[in-house]
A and B are shown apart, each in its own frame.
Chain A
């Protein structure tokens, strides 16, 4: 498991029902591409987050398939719709099988 993986997500605390909210996510992960070599010339094995999903109350907002060409500490920004108050659930899937999760609540103003 990659060490020091910490997801960070920015979601507005409240929004009008059906409004568009901009969500920014960032997860600290080295995203080793599998292309680099260490000092002895050995290839450093690939270790990346290969999939990200965002759901709101069980409904899918976005799914992203990530490849090694995504930068270190993958950053994603997208827009979601919140028809009611509820919870945004964010999930990152690591190559090694680890799953990182975080959730944010949003209220309807």
Chain B
């Protein structure tokens, strides 16, 4: 088949769509972010997410979030059936705005931490975790 201009554009658009798929956060992830931020813009900055690069067992993946000025930190697993993981709200007597826990990941995916800072702005950090065995049963 001759490569016409129209055909080239079609191929290009198709390739873009396919390559974009794994990175397109599911609608429920966006909903969860919107519910947390109230639609405010999410920048990057004072929030850190520590997660292993490779997790052998998706049933228990240790993660740690920290920030200097966050009031709340929400953790999302974008590839899970329900993306919400946990929300940490720091009180008056929290010595540091940091916490760690263990989470379930259904498969290789991006884990997001979104922090609400004291000045009301939102920042996020993300890590890709490769999961050898998923942790959602089924």
Residues 63-90 of A, flagged 1 when their CB comes within 8 A of B and 0 if not, give: 1111111111011111111110000000
- Interchain CA distance A59-B92 in the complex, whole Å: 7
Q: How far is the CB of B34 from chain A (nearest CB, A)?
A: 16
- Interchain CA distance A64-B91 in the complex, whole Å: 11
- Interface size bracket, A side: 20 to 34
Give the secondary structure class of B's interface. strand
**Chain A residues whose CB sits within 8 angstroms of the CB of B87 once the complex forms:** 64-65
**Chain A residues whose CB sits within 8 angstroms of the CB of B98 once the complex forms:** 78-79
Are A71 and B86 CB-contacts (below 8 A) given A56-B93, A60-B92? no
Are A20 and B137 CB-contacts (below 8 A) given A33-B104, A71-B104, A77-B101? no
How many residue-residue contacts, CB under 8 A, span A and B?
A: 107
B60 interfacial by beta-carbon distance below 8 Å: yes
Interface size for B (C-beta < 8 A) is 33
Q: Which chain A residues numbered 10 to 54 have a C-beta less than 8 Å away from chain B?
A: 20-21, 33, 35-37, 54
Could you list which residues of chain A lie within 8 angstroms of chain B, going by C-beta atoms?
20-21, 33, 35-37, 54-56, 59-72, 74-83
| In the complex, the 9 A-B pairs of residues with the closest C-beta atoms, listed nearest first | A60-B91, A36-B137, A20-B95, A79-B95, A71-B102, A65-B87, A81-B95, A71-B60, A67-B84
Could you list which residues of chain B lie within 8 angstroms of chain A, going by C-beta atoms?
59-61, 77, 80-96, 98-105, 135-138
